[in-house]
Amino acid sequence: MNETGHEQDFKAGLYVRLSREDEYKQNINDFSESIKNQKEFLTEYAIKNGYSIVDVYADDGISGTTFDREEFNRMLKDIEIGRINMVITKDLSRLGRDYIKTGEYLEKYFPSKNVRYIAVNDGYDSFKDENSNNEMAPFKAVFNDMYAKDISKKVRTALKTKQIKGEYLGTTPAFGYKKDTKIKGKLVIDEESSKYVKKIFELYLSGKSIFEISNILTKSEVPTPSQYAKIANTQKYIKGAWNDKSIRFILQNEVYIGNTIQNKRKKVNYKINKQVEIPKSQWIKVENTHEPIISKQDFEMTQEMLKRHSYNRAGAAIGRPQKNMHLLSGLLYCGNCKAPMTFIPTYKKRGYYICCSTAKRYKKELNLCQMKLIKETEIEEKIINTLKQITQKYIDKNKFETEICSSCRLRKTRL
Ligand SMILES: [Zn+2]
């Protein structure tokens, strides 16, 4: 018999967790939340109350706003197989900071598995019906969620303040620049790669097309931005070809006239770790944050010329879509050199062959990538198979069938 009156042996799992939102708090509370402290605290508690400790589950550096945590999932498995029937955390926020999901565990999952849950510092104990602290738990959960939101907001505000000051916060500076080793958030000109940037603008302003420029650079073995970064890391020369997209990107990048533009992408919110594009009107642009490589005059001239020669991804003039654009155009990339795949009509134009654009473009002179023709039907088959798999997994077959049928009917009535 234990204090709750349940005649049951408790096999306890101690769950500890630490993340960014806690690190923020730590500055005030002096590391009281550290993994080690939580473990010690819970072990002492379990021993004192006579619960046998089966395992300790520790998620380090993982936010409480998600429940997809490795150790947490391992704990759930142990609950499923009956290895543990009790979960103890220091407080409710250790379990999670998403109030909806925390509530689900408290009200549904743990009771359904007959698991006793204790949040020591919040005085929560799911096996004590008369416990008034239990009734407070949903409010605590909401509060913990708000706390995560508040911290996320504070971190974002701090980043924004830096962006407004023009501090560079990215990891890889634009081709032509490097990070200043002395001043944090400052860009300085990179001697070697900035020469290539100058060359690209020069060639374009002298009337060369983007296509011609990428040919010239590739043939004279100028490293591409990604090659350049790799070479700097590994000190080895890596073969590669320039593509039109990266030339165009350089020609349009205001970094070269000394401006820093940030805040182009953001996380959906503090709970969803996914990046979304931010509208151009909200980008944070700061002028003259570093030494320019290209003069403002040359840059403006370049933009004017680019406007006149605008092409979209399929190579068609904007506003006049190419008639024979392939369905998969712009969606396939070479697995070897990452360049876009290109489409070559077969004899009598009954279909297409697909091949790497680098290989096709430089096959005779440079042999940069493998010239291998893939039949359109081969790729189509693969895509259809993948689609089938996805459909089987995610689409409710019955619902889909009715939807298809109702659209059939619609079409019929229209005809
Ligand atoms: Zn390739």
Separation of CA 255 and ligand 1 centre (Å): 29
Q: Which CATH class is domain 177-308?
A: alpha beta
Separation of CA 410 and ligand 1 centre (Å): 45
Q: What is the token pair recorded at 2? A: 């234990």
Q: What is the token pair recorded at 363? A: 């096959």
- Say whether 177-308 and 11-160 share the same fold: no
DSSP assignment string, 324-342? T--TTTTT-B-TTT-PBEE
- Residue in the block written with tokens 């819970």: 42
Q: Record the pTM.
A: 0.57
CB 19 within 8 A of CB 63: yes
Separation of CA 191 and ligand 1 centre (Å): 29
For the stretch 345-398, pLDDT in tens is: 888 778 889 998 888 888 767 778 888 889 888 888 998 998 888 878 777 777
Separation of CA 256 and ligand 1 centre (Å): 29
Separation of CA 358 and ligand 1 centre (Å): 5
Confidence of residue 315 (pLDDT cuts 50, 70, 90): very low
Q: What is the token pair recorded at 78? A: 């142990």
List Cβ neighbours of 166 (8 Å cut-off, separation of 6 or more). 260, 286, 289
Separation of CA 340 and ligand 1 centre (Å): 8
Separation of CA 339 and ligand 1 centre (Å): 6
* Packing angle of the helix pair 296-308, 191-205 (nearest 10 deg): 50
Separation of CA 371 and ligand 1 centre (Å): 8
List Cβ neighbours of 17 (8 Å cut-off, separation of 6 or more). 38, 58, 59, 60, 62, 64, 69, 72, 89, 94, 95
For the stretch 76-122, pLDDT in tens is: 999 999 999 999 999 999 999 898 999 999 999 999 999 999 999 98
CB 115 within 8 A of CB 108: no
Separation of CA 250 and ligand 1 centre (Å): 22
Where do the domains of the chain lie?
A: 11-160, 177-308
* Cα 134 to Cα 357: distance, rounded to the nearest angstrom: 64
- 15: helix, strand or coil: strand
Separation of CA 350 and ligand 1 centre (Å): 25
Separation of CA 111 and ligand 1 centre (Å): 56
- 181: helix, strand or coil: coil
Separation of CA 327 and ligand 1 centre (Å): 20
For the stretch 23-56, pLDDT in tens is: 655 544 445 568 888 999 999 999 999 999 999 9
Separation of CA 359 and ligand 1 centre (Å): 6
Which amino acid does the sequence have at 142?
V
Tell me the CATH architecture of domain 11-160: 3-Layer(aba) Sandwich (3.40)
Break the chain down into helix, strand, coil percent, rounded to 5.
50, 15, 35
